[in-house]
Structure 1
Amino acid sequence: MPSANAPQWLQQPSLREQPEASVLDWLFDQGSLTRRLTQLSADHFSVTPLHEGWAPLRDDECLALELPPQSIGWVREVYLRGHGQPWVFARSVASRSALEQGGLNMDELGTRSLGELLFCDQAFTRRAIEACHYPATWLPPEHAREGLWARRSRFDRDGLSLLVAEVFLPAMWQVARPHQKDN
């Protein structure tokens, strides 16, 4: 049973509130977010791990991964940075059993981007991108604010499923919006 404050992740046609075109472009872009942020930052892109480890997955994550509630999984939370500024908060999760059988060592990524790994491995298939306003309580305290747009998608490979959620922080929009107007 989803909690009352859990977001409703929806595909673009089902969104009740349609964000402006520049936001939609980032939310539903099918390419690698890592590559796009690297380009936007003129190669001043980095990944800062915040948390990695085994933990109970949230209800919405269990539902998306077709797992029983409170399943244990690997949780990786990072900042994707441009010019040293946190531009995106990313949370990636996978079930313990899938990781143990799937041959992906998420605990060895360190400051490498999981997204780049997923896009370089042709065996992964990406399911539909969903978006929502991410709950402030799920963000690191220094960026906790309501109304931030997030997207997520599930990547599958031979029984291994990873759920990747990316929350776009205000500092990224300060750079992305002027950049889009120039193109």
Structure 2
Amino acid sequence: MNSNYPFPIGIQPLWHSPHELMIPDARLRNWLLDTGSLTERLHANCREFQVHVLGQRQAEISLEEMQQLEPSTARVNPANWQVREVILWGDGQPWVFARSIIPQALCSAELANLGNQALGKLIFNDPRFTRLPFEISHITEPAILRQALQLSSGRSLWGRRSVFKLNDLAMSVAEIFLPQSPAYADMQETQQ
């Protein structure tokens, strides 16, 4: 596992409602729109599961990310947010790149000692969190991710994101399925 990844990497794809994009494969569609814990599903598809934290700290977030979390806010204050980026590995392969935008208030309370734990493990075991509908993205030119994560495949990538709410706090979790992910297991190269 490489530990020389940059942080933050960031992701700036165009996000769409699931009915706005044609997902070319039933298995991929199932992975993208599954409302259960991605962490648990990945864990069930491998013998060895690891969370590699690229970093977590207060950092700039994009205006688009801010508007997803607080649509009425026009100004981004980095002190209010932490960015957490991780790679979820299965059997020695990088399967998912995840970027979370977490309110500082959650980092100081419920998520204070997250460390190398998967964020999903905590939110899906806490009934106070509610998930809003998914947005999905088809990244046809994943050059930034490919370069930052040192991926050899030129495959286009798919991702999803959603907002999790806890009372009046909103947290964004975006997950990009990397080329070795089981989400692509049955896809032909022509269906990228």
> Normalising by structure 2, what TM-score?
0.77
Q: Displacement, 1:6?
A: 4.4
Is the CA contact (8 Å cut-off) linking 1:88 and 1:167 kept in structure 2? yes
Deviation at 1:8, TM superposition (A): 2.5
Q: d(CA) in 2 for partners of 1:40 and 1:116?
A: 16
Q: C-alpha root-mean-square deviation of aligned residues, in Å?
A: 2.5
Q: Does 1:85 align with 2:93?
A: yes
Work out whether 1:116 is the aligned partner of 2:121: yes
SS of the equivalent of 1:31 reads: coil
Deviation (angstroms), 1:164: 0.4
TM-score normalised according to structure 1 size: 0.81
Larger helix fraction of residues: 1
Q: Distance in 1 between matches of 2:102 and 2:64?
A: 13
Q: Describe the shift of the 1:48–1:113 C-alpha distance in structure 2 as closer, same or farther (beyond 3 A).
A: same
**Which amino acid is the alignment partner of residue 9 of structure 1?**
W
**Which residue is equivalent to 2:110?**
104
The residue that corresponds to 1:155 in the other structure is 164
Residue-by-residue CA offset, 1:94-116 (whole Å, 9 max, x unaligned) = 233x437x72335x211100011
- The residue type paired with residue 45 of structure 1 is F
Q: How does 1:21-170 map to 2 (within 5 A)?
A: 21-42=26-47, 44-66=48-70, 67-72=73-78, 73-96=81-104, 98-99=105-106, 103-106=109-112, 108-134=113-139, 136=142, 139=145, 140-143=148-151, 147-170=156-179
- Does 1:172 pair with 2:181? yes
Q: Is the 8 A contact 2:54 2:85 kept in 1?
A: yes
Q: Which runs of 5+ in 2 are unaligned?
A: 1-10, 188-192
Q: Which runs of 5+ in 1 are unaligned?
A: 179-183
Amino acid at match of 2:67: L
Q: CA deviation at 1:84?
A: 2.0
Letter in 2 for 1:165: A
Q: What's the offset of the Cα at 1:147? A: 2.6
What SS is found at the alignment partner of 1:36?
helix
Q: Tell me what 2:20 maps to.
A: 14
The answer to which of 26-35 and 53-62 deviates more is: 53-62
Distance 1:35 1:25 in 2: 15
